[in-house]
Amino acid sequence: MAVIGHRTTLQEFVTSDWEGNGQHDGLDAVIMAIAEGSIRVQRQVQQASLADALGTTGETNVQGEIVQRLDTASSDIFVETLSQSGHIAVIGCEEIEKPVIVEGLVADGYIVLMDPLDGSSNIDVAVSIGSIFGIWQKKPGETVNEDSLLRPGNEQVAAAYVVYGSSTVLVLATKNNVCGFTLDSESGGFALTHPNIKIPADCPYYSTNEGNNKVLDEPTQKAITLLRDKYSQRYVGSLVADFHRNLLKGGIFAYPADQNRKEGRLRLMYEANPLGYVAEQAGGAASTGYERILDIIPQQLHQRTPLILGNKDVVEQTVSVIKGG
């Protein structure tokens, strides 16, 4: 089906949108590397069942989680495309215990923290999954090492995620705006379909794992009860899919701390920070339930955090109850 009229392509956007806006040199190449990698990952995800590429590697990752074969494949793809962009200094990845220092560092090197395939346990049942990226810029003259990755989320220069669902959508947040680009199977590239995304003021949905309710502390149970009484539950069990719906339609995602996960379940550096940046740039908010996600000073590359994410007013109300307000 031909696309009616010309839609701005991602390449055109990153070239034109950032001219004269003091954007960071080379950032366009980093975004295009993410786009290139996501097109390859999307093909693998779509073909996985046919290529007998489903299932696990039999290994567990640094998180102690069973590694899906597509987790490893996706990680390898993005490390390759990012490294080849010529503007990356170091990569941190959920699937790789140590940072990947990219040879031949360039002056404007970027630091990318990524979850290459989030929600991969849903692949076998054809449920939407995603890739998540936080982007920082190394400090002038900095010699990157493992500690270079431990930057607070409020120092990100951009963030992006890709949702592999009924369509493949890349959402890009910079200091200027949040925009969505849909993969056009005919052209093979991403075209602008969601300009200047803002989280709607109306909040119809809440997303949380109600099965954890029994292990929440009392103030948090009360906060979830208030959400249940006011909104409709929508919970895919895939962070990117749940967040993308709430970003476009309005809603709140909550994975608070509980008795079994006192530090929370989701990861700060490559899940909460990037999606928190997207949410804030779209007029939303991201909290642990006690503090702003983007203000956390990281201690470890793979540290976890509780996450309350989405519509600003509802996040603030929920945090107030969790704090016992």
Using CB under 6 A, list all residues that contact ligand P6P. Answer: 118-119, 121, 209, 237-239, 265
Judged by beta carbon, residue 26 or residue 153, the one nearer ligand P6P is 153
Q: Shortest CA distance to 112 belongs to which of 65, 75, 163, 63?
A: 75
Q: Is 86 exposed, middle or buried (0-12, 13-18, 19+ CB in 10 A)?
A: middle
Rounded to the nearest whole angstrom, what is the least distance from the CB of residue 267 to ligand P6P in the complex?
8
252 backbone φψ class: left, alpha, beta (φ>0; ψ -120 to 50): beta
The smaller minimum CB distance to ligand P6P, of residues 148 and 238, is found at: 238
Beta carbon of residue 88, minimum distance to ligand P6P (angstroms, whole number): 25
Q: Whose Cβ is closer to ligand P6P: residue 79's or residue 275's?
A: 275
CB of 94 to ligand P6P, least distance (A): 9
Q: CA-to-CA distance for 288 and 265, rounded, in angstroms?
A: 11
Nearer to ligand P6P (CB atom), residue 138 or residue 244 = 244
Token look-up 């590359």 returns 301
- Let me know: does 201 contact 210? Beta carbons within 8 Å: no
Residues 61, 239: Cα–Cα separation, whole Å? 19
User: What's the closest the beta carbon of residue 152 comes to ligand P6P, in angstroms?
Assistant: 22
Q: Residue 231 or 255: which CB sits closer to ligand P6P?
A: 255
**Minimum gap (Å) between residue 118 Cβ and ligand P6P:** 5
The residue (of 137 and 207) whose beta carbon lies closer to ligand P6P is 207
Minimal distance in Å, beta carbon 65 to ligand P6P? 8
Name residue 285's beta-bridge partners. 310
For residue 63, the minimal CB distance to ligand P6P (Å) is 9
Question: 109 or 130: whose CB is closer to ligand P6P?
Answer: 130
